[in-house]
Amino acid sequence: MSKTKYVVQLCTSCGREAKMEIIGSIVGSETKTWYRCTRCRHSILIDSELQKKNNPLAVTRDSCINYSPEKEFHIGEAIYHSDWDDMGTVKSKERTSNGGNAIWVSFEKNGLKKLIENLPQD
Ligand SMILES: [Zn+2]
């Protein structure tokens, strides 16, 4: 079995999506793998464990709570905004000047947005 394996992902060296040749993983830390970019020929070490934690794209639609201003959210929760068709993670909470509650959400497409939460219903 000498067939070379490739994956397409972002190369941190040339900054583009490129076909990466899998060179091998590090013994004793199997989540870390060496890749060689077929564009710039640089070898880069990717820690899939770390990538999972830092990559907001790891948020799946199924794990998201549908956003609605009447709901209350918690830091770290994944939410889905149906109007924007966007997923994000709650980063912090804030009390607004009129005594209401707001959350700061880091969205995949729209970036950091402030949304109303826990809105009292009439
Ligand atoms: Zn590259």
Q: How far is the CA of 49 from the centre of ligand 1 (A)?
A: 21
In this structure, which long-range contacts are made by residues 14-19, counting pairs with CB atoms below 8 Å and at least 24 apart in sequence? 14/39, 14/40, 14/42
Give 40's DSSP letter: T
Return the number of other C-beta atoms located less than 10 Å from residue 11's C-beta.
21
Listed range (6-15, 77-86, 102-111) with the worst mean pLDDT: 6-15
pLDDT 10s digits, 43-102: 998 887 776 665 555 568 888 999 999 999 999 999 999 999 999 999 999 998 888 899
Q: How far is the CA of 8 from the centre of ligand 1 (A)?
A: 11
Could you tell me the residue range of the domain that residue 32 belongs to?
6-54
Identify whether residues 88 and 112 lie together within a single domain.
yes
Identify whether residues 10 and 40 lie together within a single domain.
yes
Identify whether residues 24 and 38 lie together within a single domain.
yes
In a domain, 122, yes or no: no
Identify whether residues 68 and 19 lie together within a single domain.
no
In a domain, 38, yes or no: yes
Q: How far is the CA of 60 from the centre of ligand 1 (A)?
A: 28
| Contact call for residues 77 and 92 (beta carbons, < 8 A) | no
Task: Kindly report the CATH number assigned to the domain that includes residue 16.
Answer: 2.20.25
- So what's the pLDDT on residue 39? 95
Identify whether residues 77 and 35 lie together within a single domain.
no
Please give the model's pTM, rounded to 2 decimal places.
0.52
Sheet holding 65-66, edge to edge: 65-66, 78-81, 86-95, 101-107, 111-117
Total domains in the fold of the chain? 2
